[in-house]
Amino acid sequence: MTTPRTTTGVRTVLFDEIGGPDVLTVHALDLAAPGPGEVLVRVEALGLNRAEALFRSGGYYYQPTLPGSRLGYEAAGTVEATGEGVTAFAVGDTVFTGPGIEMSTQGVYAERVVLPESALVPRPAEVDAVTGAAAWLTYTTAYGGMIETGGLRPGDHVLITGASSGVGTAAIQVARRIGAVPLATTRTEAKKKQLLDLGAEHVIVTHGKNTEDVVKETRQATGGQGVELIFDAIGGPGFRTLAEALVPDEGTVVAYGWLDPRPAELPRVAGLTIHFYANATLTTSPGGRRRSTAFLNQGLRDGTLRPPVAEVFDGLDRIQDAHRLMESNRHFGKIVVTL
Closest CA to 113 of 125, 96, 131: 96
Q: Is residue 96 domain-shared with residue 224, that is, in the same domain? A: no
pLDDT one-digit tens code per residue, 291-310: 999 999 999 999 999 999 99
Q: Is residue 92 domain-shared with residue 14, that is, in the same domain? A: yes
Mean per-residue pLDDT of the chain: 93
CATH of the domain at 234: 3.40.50.720
Q: What is the CA angle 261-264-265, rounded to 5?
A: 150
Q: What is the pTM of this model?
A: 0.91
CA distances from 189 to 10, 60, 159, 196, 211 (A): 43, 29, 17, 12, 9
The answer to the question of residue 312 being in a domain is yes
CATH of the domain at 85: 3.90.180.10
The answer to the question of residue 2 being in a domain is no
pLDDT one-digit tens code per residue, 227-258: 999 999 988 888 888 889 999 888 999 999 88
What residue numbers bound the domain in which 166 lies? 139-280
pLDDT one-digit tens code per residue, 148-205: 999 999 999 999 999 988 899 999 999 999 999 999 999 888 889 999 999 999 999 9
Q: Is residue 224 domain-shared with residue 207, that is, in the same domain? A: yes
Q: Is residue 71 domain-shared with residue 203, that is, in the same domain? A: no
The answer to the question of residue 236 being in a domain is yes
81 forms beta bridges with 40
| H-run or E-run covering 38 | strand 38-47
10 forms beta bridges with 29
Question: For residues 238 and 33, which has the higher predicted lDDT (pLDDT)?
Answer: 33
- Among residues 233, 263, 280, the one where a domain terminates is 280
Tell me how many domains the chain contains: 2
